[in-house]
Structure 1
Amino acid sequence: MLRSRELRALGVAPQPVLQPNQWISCMEFDTDGVILATGSSNGMIALYDFDEYFHRLLVLRNLQAKPLRQATNDAATHGTFKTVRPIHILNTALEIKRIRWNPMDQDILACSFTARNEIHLYNLKKFPTQPFRVLKAPTRPSSGYYDFLFTKSRTYKATEATLESSFAGTSNAPCIVGADVDGSIRMWDTHVPSKPVWVVVNSRDVGSITSMCLCAGQQYLICGTDRGWLLIFDTWNIVVPAFGQRPVPKRVAQYDLLVHLRAAAPTAANNATAALGGGVVSVQLVPNTAATIACQLLNDWIVVVDALRRHVLQLHTVLRGAVAARHAGPSSSDPTTFSFGEHDTWPSSNGPSTRIEASTWKLHRCMGSFMFGGAMFTTGFASDNGLYTIDMQSQPTATETPSKMDPPSTVQFLRRLRIPMEHFVTAVAAHPVSHVIVCGMHSNAIAVVGPEPVDASS
């Protein structure tokens, strides 16, 4: 499936404002794919008009298709269509950790920071320079928020009658759920930014919550932590904990993902432990499923799991350093195990690395994105200047049979394809309509990768 159409960098590219020691940390398209919002490590948010981008790409291809004499005459015009500059720039003081569009109002853009206890909301109707609303927590402030998402307080309709009165005035109100560095989860009504509706405080054992997603019709909130835990809350079932605390969503499950991975594929799990553990970088709902979650781990592994049933379905592995050296044939062409650029030693906090320029850059991982209705997952790997496309529908081969030490398992090992890039890929976003993927780079450059157009004359 991956090789049915060749993916290449297209001729037109968005042109960001380049500054030293800066990289693209996150990006996201709006629902229609018209505006791309990118966040940078220096706190800059840039907005790109992708209708203009596709128009320029079409003009560029028409110019390239002209006869040589006409193309020479249009050389000056040819160069003007190769870049698309931002239509608006917002400046903040700190690294942007996550950026989200409000699905209920596409004029609202929100962002969070790892070093500030705030979530900023911008109203893009007026091309703002400052947020029109700032969400804060008056008690137990954290140092920042790794992730957040938009939802509605209508989920409280399923609560008991004794609790309904608390939320009757905010039915259908837009809300934001944020996960902070200390492991707490808060939900705000966006009209009441200084007082969260509820707060869930987790134990320090589970670590910081790095990513969240909603599943099963937005009923269940799934959270991944930097220690490899998955936490699941029923947002439709609000309960009152002991000692008269405020109502909070019911905790449905809490489990260590690596434990279930070890039970499903023991050999792979041992390699994961040796390759710097299984801290969760992101959790995303697989398209067209109810509760199937794709979990990206700190070591660039991807585990596809049925979160509610705790069943590992698919696994994508990356072997590096000492782990890769133990396997015969480190130059193997098997795309399920090795690829070019993966055999270097993993960056260590005890020594210098060319990739590591600051602690935030060392800890940064690319959050992947689904394409083709969930058939493909694209992301960037640490210490590798390549864009990786993982085939979520790959068929098992003879080399993927489990070892004799593994019990009978339905775990499917996924295959991948590497697309060389000029720099490390730090963020990706799939266009919701066209089959293109936008890559943010360590150099703060932006590249657009997509299938080559088919020549009708051939």
Structure 2
Amino acid sequence: MDKFLLAAAPPPGNGPAAPRPPTQRWHRWSRIAVELEGRIDARFRHRESRRLLDSYAETRSFKHKYYTHGEERCQTYVNRMINASTMVGCYNPAREGVSAMEFDRKGVYLASVTISGCLTVHDFETLYCSMYGPSCSLPDDSSNYLLHISNPMPLCSVRWNPGNQDEIVCSSSQRDKVFLFDIGYVSAAPNEILQIGKSKFHTLCSESRKGLTDLAFTSDDKSWLFASGLDGAVYMWDRRLSKTHCRELTALPESQFTSIKLNMDNRTFFGATKNGTMHVWDLRGGKASAAFQSHNEVQPLSSVKISTLLGKITSLKEQSNIISCEILSIDFNPSCSYQLAFHLDDGWSGVLNVNTLSVSHLHCPPPAWLDGTDSVLHKRKPTWLATSSIYAVGSSSISGMYVLDFHPDTSSACHVDYNEEIKGSGENQPTENKFIPLSERVLSCSAHPLSDSIIAGTEFSSLLMVSQKNETIRNPE
């Protein structure tokens, strides 16, 4: 700004000119800089995310009290009543709970599935606007959802087809089929069923290991669909060719896949297993020595064990006994393509840098016995916020949710190279991890792609709205 100032006129007379005051260096206010430049850099977004985390709270709870036909209650509600009426020692967590959920691409609809077998589609605007009304006016019938289907089998995964946002795909850990529903048709029966064809791995496994645990689509081709199996293989369907699978991503037969994810390039595929191993495939052919051995089999390009990578962190190895745990979920950061988050059975969450195959971030919550809790939730599925590198995951032992700072920099509170002795002050103060107390324990959650509101599915099959707190300003007059 100083270069636009004009020099003052010399004083009258022959006296010497007054000395020019030294040029002052103006402090650049980051908020004004963002408005002038018209872009938001990663560091500014990281600083502002601290205010976002401080504003989160549970704003509304939605119970699963739905009917199927007439006055008949759905199986999820029946199982909730059975568990509520039994003694504490007889409670069966396998009867109920929201096992998975996902928003569509625009955030208009939310699809969720339960362990009891219910597929439900909600209108997000209806759920969000109900925060401003009295709790007694909340609907508990068909006005609270757009679609509700009760299936005779437990459901463990749900995905929206990115090429057809009217289509929802579900899978069950007790079935070797993929079920596709069209929300445009109100029908309890799926409009299409995909099944596994002949497979050398599938025939060697028992009936208990023939289920499908997770689903994935490619973003550039809506006809390609992947499903991970408990039999040690990931199956791919090309819906233009057949309703049976056409390709297999193979691993060791003892591998039981729990979660899969396709990289943003739609070429690199990642799969997590119960024994804590991460497998990587290249869909273009894999290793050179095995690329052309079979036209329908793809060998893993690389495999890493998470416990081995954690053992390379010196500060962690010195104070923790690192054991191999089941990987419950993996997911790519939508705002950073090389960050693959993982969540373990013991409650730990971290980030795998896929470029270096090393763990860059880690969060280790207090163990369950420290909180005085005996029971630990299993099958938890966290979520990323859309733009701020924040990872939300339900606590494994108490009623609440952690929102973790996984910013791809050493300024992140969860970075393995973070130095606690060097802390900023004021505006440069780093973002801290937050724990949000909730009314129920969380099994799965999903973040809205635009508003950063979080919907959490609980062990009692309820939906919790976690969003910014609303404060009413009253006129003192």
Which residue of structure 1 lines up, in the alignment, with residue 137 of structure 2? 80
Deviations 1:402-449 (A, max 9, x none): 89xxxxxxxxx9953222222211111111112211111111111101
The change in CA–CA distance for 1:382 and 1:292 in structure 2 (over 3 A counts) is same
Structure 2 CA distance for aligned equivalents of residues 278 and 441 of structure 1: 23
Which residue of structure 1 lines up, in the alignment, with residue 272 of structure 2? 224
Which residue of structure 2 lines up, in the alignment, with residue 34 of structure 1? 108
The change in CA–CA distance for 1:455 and 1:257 in structure 2 (over 3 A counts) is same
Structure 2 CA distance for aligned equivalents of residues 101 and 321 of structure 1: 34
Structure 2 CA distance for aligned equivalents of residues 215 and 98 of structure 1: 19
Structure 2 residue 285 is the aligned partner of structure 1 residue 237 = yes
Q: 2:467 aligns with which of 442, 446, 450?
A: 450
Which residue of structure 2 lines up, in the alignment, with residue 95 of structure 1? 154
Q: 2:235 aligns with which of 165, 176, 186?
A: 186
Structure 2 residue 138 is the aligned partner of structure 1 residue 54 = no
Report if aligned partners of 1:16, 1:444 keep a CA contact under 8 Å in 2: no
Which residue of structure 1 lines up, in the alignment, with residue 404 of structure 2? 390
Instruction: Name the amino acid aligned to 2:342.
Output: C
The change in CA–CA distance for 1:16 and 1:389 in structure 2 (over 3 A counts) is farther
What secondary structure sits across from 2:336 in the alignment? coil
Pick the structure with greater CA Rg.
2
Structure 2 residue 454 is the aligned partner of structure 1 residue 440 = no
Structure 1 CA distance for aligned equivalents of residues 289 and 149 of structure 2: 41
Which residue of structure 1 lines up, in the alignment, with residue 195 of structure 2? 136
Instruction: Name the amino acid aligned to 1:236.
Output: R
Which residue of structure 2 lines up, in the alignment, with residue 252 of structure 1? 301
Instruction: Name the amino acid aligned to 2:348.
Output: W
Deviations 1:366-386 (A, max 9, x none): 210112514311111222211
Instruction: Name the amino acid aligned to 1:432.
Output: P
Instruction: Name the amino acid aligned to 1:46.
Output: T
Aligned-pair CA distance for 1:269: 8.1
The change in CA–CA distance for 1:214 and 1:400 in structure 2 (over 3 A counts) is closer
Structure 1 CA distance for aligned equivalents of residues 168 and 333 of structure 2: 24
Q: Write out aligned runs for 1:24-423 (5 A).
A: 24-58=98-132, 60=133, 79-81=136-138, 85-140=144-199, 141=202, 143-151=210-218, 172=221, 174-205=223-254, 207-237=255-285, 241=290, 245-249=294-298, 251-265=300-314, 267-268=316-317, 271=320, 273=322, 277-320=324-367, 341=371, 344=373, 347=375, 364-393=378-407, 395-396=412-413, 416-423=433-440
The gaps in structure 1 that reach 5 residues or longer are 65-77, 155-171, 325-340, 348-354, 356-361, 404-412
Report if aligned partners of 2:400, 2:438 keep a CA contact under 8 Å in 1: yes
What secondary structure sits across from 1:54 in the alignment? helix
Report if aligned partners of 1:120, 1:134 keep a CA contact under 8 Å in 2: yes
Aligned-pair CA distance for 1:250: 5.4
The change in CA–CA distance for 1:431 and 1:381 in structure 2 (over 3 A counts) is same
CA-atom RMSD, angstroms?
3.2
Structure 1 CA distance for aligned equivalents of residues 250 and 353 of structure 2: 25
Equivalent pairs, count? 378
The gaps in structure 2 that reach 5 residues or longer are 1-48, 67-76, 81-94, 203-208, 421-429
TM-score (norm 2): 0.71
The change in CA–CA distance for 1:81 and 1:444 in structure 2 (over 3 A counts) is closer
